[in-house]
Amino acid sequence: MHIMEGFLPAKHALGWAAVSLPCVALGLHSVKKKVRENPELKMLLGVSVAFTFVLSALKLPSVTGSSSHPTGTGLGAVLFGPLAMAPIATIVLLFQALLLAHGGLTTLGANVFSLGVIGPLIAYGIFRAGRLARLPQGLTLFVAASLASLATYLTTSIQLALAFPDPVGGFSVALAKFAGIFAVTQLPLAISEGLLTVLIFNILSKHSTRELQDLGLPLTREGARP
């Protein structure tokens, strides 16, 4: 989800920025409303930002000769809803672009869309579906965070395939190439991220029980363990 500076054609960069901007605006409104109603949630919000920043800043070499990153958006999406992650991802990606040379300013909209919109939507949807089905909370959280990470990179693959279709096979062939590279890279990272997300949630369930309940996350005696 760190498409580098200047890599996308201008019309694609502007298009993704236009798509992401309303999501960021709605997310800011959502976060402000939650924090205004429950000021004690600021700590959990800070944890969500820090978790996303640290994980997505980890640049790990891959077997494909590229590099990959965990995403860290599953936790915040489960806690504050998917909309909240769009402004959080914007802040994280902006700092990473300016300070760590990860991503870029012209590609910020595309990176926000994959990291802060699609990934969180997947995480939130799976987690809520698991709760409705009364599946073990830890298992649901693990699957939600893992698939959100994979979905983020699948979205990046789609963005790159749209920008750079294969000269012969077009979009579908380009998507297969990009997704094939990212899937091999991201799968072990997604599994690790899912396990880490469950671990952090269990820690929060012990020390921030009231705040989690305020967010509509009643806890079992086992916390988030499967």
Residue-wise pLDDT for 50-65, tens only, equals: 999 988 887 765 555 4
What is the token pair recorded at 35? 């924090």
Which strand (E) or helix (H) includes residue 194? Answer: helix 170-207
- pLDDT for position 63: 53
Q: What is the pTM of this model?
A: 0.89
Average pLDDT rounded to a whole number, residues 155-161: 94
Cα→Cα distances 39→57, 209, 213, Å: 28, 15, 14
Residue-wise pLDDT for 104-121, tens only, equals: 899 999 999 999 999 999
User: Using 50, 70 and 90 to split pLDDT, how confident is the model at 182?
Assistant: confident
In whole numbers, what is the pLDDT of the chain averaged over residues?
88
pLDDT at 66 > cutoff 70: no
Exposed, middle or buried: residue 79 (CB in 10 Å: 0-12, 13-18, 19+)?
buried
Exposed, middle or buried: residue 19 (CB in 10 Å: 0-12, 13-18, 19+)?
middle
Can you list the positions of beta strands (E) in 57-214?
Answer: 60-61, 67-68
SS3 of 61, please?
A: strand
- pLDDT for position 1: 61
* Domain residue ranges of the chain, discontinuous segments joined by +: 10-214
Top CATH class of 10-214 equals mainly alpha
- pLDDT for position 221: 46
pLDDT at 198 > cutoff 80: yes
User: Using 50, 70 and 90 to split pLDDT, how confident is the model at 99?
Assistant: confident
pLDDT at 49 > cutoff 50: yes
Residue-wise pLDDT for 26-47, tens only, equals: 999 999 998 998 888 998 999 9
Residue-wise pLDDT for 161-181, tens only, equals: 999 999 999 999 999 988 888
Share of the chain above pLDDT 90, in %: 65
Residue-wise pLDDT for 213-226, tens only, equals: 888 886 554 444 44
User: Using 50, 70 and 90 to split pLDDT, how confident is the model at 123?
Assistant: very high
The span from the CA of 217 to the CA of 96, in Å, is 31
